[in-house]
């Protein structure tokens, strides 16, 4: 119950103000099609430089939580999911809005998000310290394999092509080696002076997530989105609460599914929402009503995608392995404040860790309260033309990456990586494993070198890195995730794409 | 087996560039000294080059199933914006000053891609207003709140 000791820190004027700002801003950003939670958090990182670590994380955490929930607004009122996590919400949410039940759909969506989100954060609160202690048993070889696991799991599970996903991870791992070698001081792959200090993580994150989206908006040309916001009639909140209580099964399935999926590194909210929707439909006596504007569909999908948020941070805070691309960006936010996740975080910075986690808990409640009021404004923001969004995101990306170290080199790196990523995405590569490779590369290399030294002084490389129960278990998980994804890829196209839903 | 939606040549070029980078990374990793500094890059580049060549071979054989490529329409749409963005980032931001360059680039991009008709005077007024508001917010955030000192050449 250590978290209760730090609960008061969330309510200091600055911390609570940042929590409110992150929550309301996140709801609006989340409703904006094209601004994914990952990109929103990446663009916010430069604004946290001058804040204390806990304050910066409160802002980023609140934005993460509420962008996922805010995405439901455009999913329901425009049939455009604000984020991939809201794809399943469009199926019944938009149909409800078309039937004149837009307000009810929004209320159900925010209430379900809050219930799922609170449960997810409670899981984070109770699982993290236990796993963090367990992580103490990890040596360099285990940490090396864990870093590789983080890259391969996201590379294989998060990509449409296993080979291209893994290749993206390799590109990220290679990019992480650019610059001066830590031990020998040797120059590695410095083919431009801007790369002398290596690739700055924050600039890279901004470039890899923001610039491809800007170019995608350019590629759509001058055509408008053609999406019209459906007018929302008033609906009593009491009615929505009763509806939630009537649909405990959908809520339970959504929350449980989201929590479990969140714990698995690499499997994001998009999958959580779709799996919860599918399972809820299977177990519902009204399964025929799904897709026709059935409240159970909205409740299952939204409770799942927010229940996923808390557990997705468990592997990050305990083992330094981000469970999702957004968690990877949050890791970048931690590292710029000199804080390393794992036991160090809970032993040396418990105030930062618990204030951040507690703020996510309070943030879920704020998100529910403000979501209901901000929905109308968010829906208007969601109609902002792509041309305006592209120009705004480009400007923020340039200023944000420059402000990291007041270096034009970072801006060049940001732009180069962003343009490269756009074209790579068009050929089936994915940004998530590349980012994971870039972030986990230094962790993998440091432990590989440290492990090599131990191995050379003891049994040799193969017994050290390939022997022992934990090493074998981690290697088996790496191989299993690749084989499973390969099998699924061969069997069928696994997941419904955003384009298919919108169409 | 689904029909590839993209001309094979695009995939060959794309995966060919990735494969070339992979081969270069592997070559540098195995030839540069001191060898100890390249221990980890050697490990990565070995996997990198195998996967990259595999992807390239699949593209050459027409077996690529993932990735929609870029259509001619998309390409012609994105090129003007991309050129302006690149000029803004790689030259104007430093050459003209951050805020001046951003104002110009923002306004041009807005005008280029805005679905509102170019002939209407009202839409031009709207674009000028949006640009002014955006720049005021950026200045307040970065220059005043975050105290970021940006290159200043022309005006500000």
> Averaged over A114-137, what is the pLDDT?
83
Would you state the pLDDT for residue A66? 84
Q: Which residues in chain B have Cβ-Cβ distances shorter than 8 Å to A173? A: 44, 48
Residue A268: pLDDT over 60: no
Residue scoring higher pLDDT (A196 or A383): A196
B5 contacts chain A (CB < 8 A): no
User: Please, which residues have CB within 8 angstroms of residue B39's CB and are 6 or more apart in sequence?
Assistant: A448, A449, A452
Neighbours of A236 (CB within 10 A): 11
B25 contacts chain A (CB < 8 A): yes
User: What does pTM read for this prediction?
Assistant: 0.79
In whole numbers, what is the pLDDT of chain A averaged over residues?
A: 81
Residue A498: pLDDT over 70: no
Q: Do B25 and A398 touch (CB under 8 A)?
A: no
- Distances, alpha carbon A164 to alpha carbons A337, A409, A491, B16, in Å: 33, 28, 17, 13
Q: Do B98 and A402 touch (CB under 8 A)?
A: yes
| Closest residue in chain B to residue A218, using alpha carbons only | B78
Residues 436-475 on A with a CB inside 8 Å of B are: 444-445, 448-449, 452
Closest by Cα among A137, A161, A162 to A474: A137
Q: Choose the mutation target among A34, A163, A176, A218 for the interface with B, i.e. most B CBs under 10 Å.
A: A218
Q: Which residues in chain A have Cβ-Cβ distances shorter than 8 Å to B47? A: 166, 170
- Distances, alpha carbon A10 to alpha carbons A13, A59, A116, A331, A382, in Å: 8, 11, 21, 20, 30
| Closest residue in chain B to residue A177, using alpha carbons only | B41
B72 contacts chain A (CB < 8 A): no
Name residue A179's beta-bridge partners.
A188
Residue A412 — pLDDT band, cuts 50, 70, 90? very high
Task: Please provide residue A198's backbone torsions phi and psi, each rounded to the nearest 5 degrees.
Answer: 85, 180
Bond before A463 cis per omega within 30 degrees: no
Residue B84: pLDDT over 90: yes
Q: How is A52-91 classified by DSSP, letter by letter? A: -HHHHHHHHHHHHHHHHHHHHHHHHHTS--SSGGGHHHHH
What ipTM was assigned to the predicted interfaces of this complex? 0.90
Q: How many CA atoms lie within 13 A of B6 on its CB side?
A: 23
pLDDT digits (tens, 9 = 90+) for A75-121: 887 777 767 677 788 888 888 888 878 888 888 888 998 899 899 88
- Distances, alpha carbon A28 to alpha carbons A166, A311, A390, B62, in Å: 34, 24, 16, 43
Maximum average pLDDT range among A29-33, B21-25, B35-39? B21-25
pLDDT digits (tens, 9 = 90+) for A361-398: 898 888 888 887 777 666 666 667 777 888 888 988 88
Name residue B152's beta-bridge partners.
B97
Would you state the pLDDT for residue B23? 93
d(CA A23, CA A67): 8
Residue B85 — pLDDT band, cuts 50, 70, 90? very high
Residue scoring higher pLDDT (A416 or A136): A416
Name residue A187's beta-bridge partners.
A180
Q: How many CA atoms lie within 13 A of B96 on its CB side?
A: 15
d(CA A162, CA B6): 19
d(CA A244, CA A106): 12
Residue B26 — pLDDT band, cuts 50, 70, 90? very high
Q: How is A233-247 classified by DSSP, letter by letter? A: ----HHHHHHHHHHT
Maximum average pLDDT range among A48-57, A480-489, B107-116? B107-116
List, in sequence order, the alpha helices (H) in A247-342.
Answer: 248-263, 269-283, 295-307, 309-312, 314-319, 325-335
Task: Classify A331 as helix, strand or coil.
Answer: helix
Specify whether the backbone of B44 is left (phi greater than 0), alpha (psi in -120 to 50) or beta. alpha
> Averaged over B83-93, what is the pLDDT?
91
Q: Which of B32, B44, B80 sits opposite A173 (nearest CB)?
A: B44
Q: How is A303-314 classified by DSSP, letter by letter? A: HHHHHTHHHHTH
Residues 92-151 on A with a CB inside 8 Å of B are: none
């Amino acid at each position: 119950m250590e978290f209760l000791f730090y609960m008061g820190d969330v309510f200091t004027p600055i911390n609570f103000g940042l929590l409110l700002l992150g929550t309301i801003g996140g709801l609006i950003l989340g409703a904006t099609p094209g601004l994914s939670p990952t990109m929103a958090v990446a663009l916010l990182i430069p604004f946290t430089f001058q804040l204390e670590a806990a304050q910066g994380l409160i802002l980023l955490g609140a934005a993460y939580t509420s962008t996922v929930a805010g995405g439901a607004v455009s999913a329901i009122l425009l049939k455009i999911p604000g984020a991939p996590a809201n794809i399943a919400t469009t199926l019944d949410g938009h149909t409800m809005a078309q039937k004149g039940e837009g307000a009810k759909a929004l209320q159900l969506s925010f209430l379900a998000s809050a219930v799922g989100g609170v449960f997810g954060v409670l899981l984070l609160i109770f699982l993290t310290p236990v796993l963090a202690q367990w992580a103490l048993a990890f040596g360099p070889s285990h940490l090396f394999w864990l870093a590789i696991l983080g890259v391969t799991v996201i590379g294989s599970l998060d990509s449409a092509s296993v080979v291209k996903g893994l290749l993206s991870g390799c590109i990220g791992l290679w990019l992480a080696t650019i610059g001066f070698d830590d031990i020998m001081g040797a120059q590695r792959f410095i083919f431009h002076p801007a790369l002398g200090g290596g690739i700055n993580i924050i600039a890279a994150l901004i470039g890899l997530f923001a610039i491809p989206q800007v170019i995608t908006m350019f590629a759509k040309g001058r055509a408008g989105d053609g999406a019209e916001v459906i007018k929302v009639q008033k609906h009593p909140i009491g009615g929505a609460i009763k509806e939630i209580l009537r649909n405990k099964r959908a809520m339970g399935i959504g929350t449980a599914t989201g929590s479990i999926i969140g714990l698995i590194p690499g499997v994001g909210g998009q999958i959580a929402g779709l799996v919860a929707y599918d399972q809820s439909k299977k177990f519902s006596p009204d399964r025929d009503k799904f897709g026709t504007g059935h409240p159970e569909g909205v409740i299952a999908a939204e409770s799942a995608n927010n229940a996923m948020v808390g557990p997705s941070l468990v592997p990050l805070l305990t083992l330094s392995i981000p469970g999702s691309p957004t968690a990877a960006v949050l890791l970048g936010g931690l590292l710029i404040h000199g804080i390393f996740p794992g036991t160090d975080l809970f032993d040396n910075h418990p105030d930062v860790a618990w204030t951040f986690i507690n703020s996510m808990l309070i943030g879920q409640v704020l998100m529910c309260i403000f979501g209901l009021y901000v929905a109308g404004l968010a829906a208007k923001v969601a109609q902002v033309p792509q041309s305006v969004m592209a120009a705004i995101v480009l400007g923020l990306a340039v200023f944000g990456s420059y402000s990291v170290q007041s270096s034009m080199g970072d801006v060049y790196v940001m732009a180069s990586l962003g343009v490269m990523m756009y074209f790579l995405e068009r050929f089936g590569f994915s940004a998530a494993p590349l980012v994971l490779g870039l972030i986990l590369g230094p962790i993998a290399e440091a432990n590989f070198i440290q492990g090599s030294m131990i191995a050379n002084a003891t049994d040799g490389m193969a017994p050290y890195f390939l022997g022992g129960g934990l090493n074998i278990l981690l290697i088996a998980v790496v191989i299993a995730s690749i084989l499973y994804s390969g099998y699924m890829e061969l069997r069928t196209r696994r997941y419904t794409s955003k384009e298919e839903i919108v169409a | 087996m689904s029909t590839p939606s993209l001309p094979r040549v695009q995939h060959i070029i794309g995966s060919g560039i990735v494969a070339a980078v992979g081969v270069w990374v592997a070559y540098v990793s195995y030839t540069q000294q001191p060898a100890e500094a390249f221990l980890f890059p050697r490990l990565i580049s070995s996997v990198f080059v195998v996967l990259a060549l595999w992807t390239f071979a699949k593209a050459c054989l027409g077996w690529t199933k993932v990735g929609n490529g870029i259509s001619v329409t998309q390409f012609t749409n994105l090129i003007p914006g991309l050129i302006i963005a690149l000029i803004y980032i790689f030259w104007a931001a430093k050459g003209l000053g951050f805020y001046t360059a951003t104002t110009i680039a923002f306004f041009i991009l807005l005008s280029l891609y805005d679905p509102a008709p170019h002939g209407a005077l009202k839409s031009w007024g709207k674009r000028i207003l949006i640009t002014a508001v955006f720049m005021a917010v950026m200045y307040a955030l970065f220059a005043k709140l975050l105290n970021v000192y940006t290159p200043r050449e022309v005006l500000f």
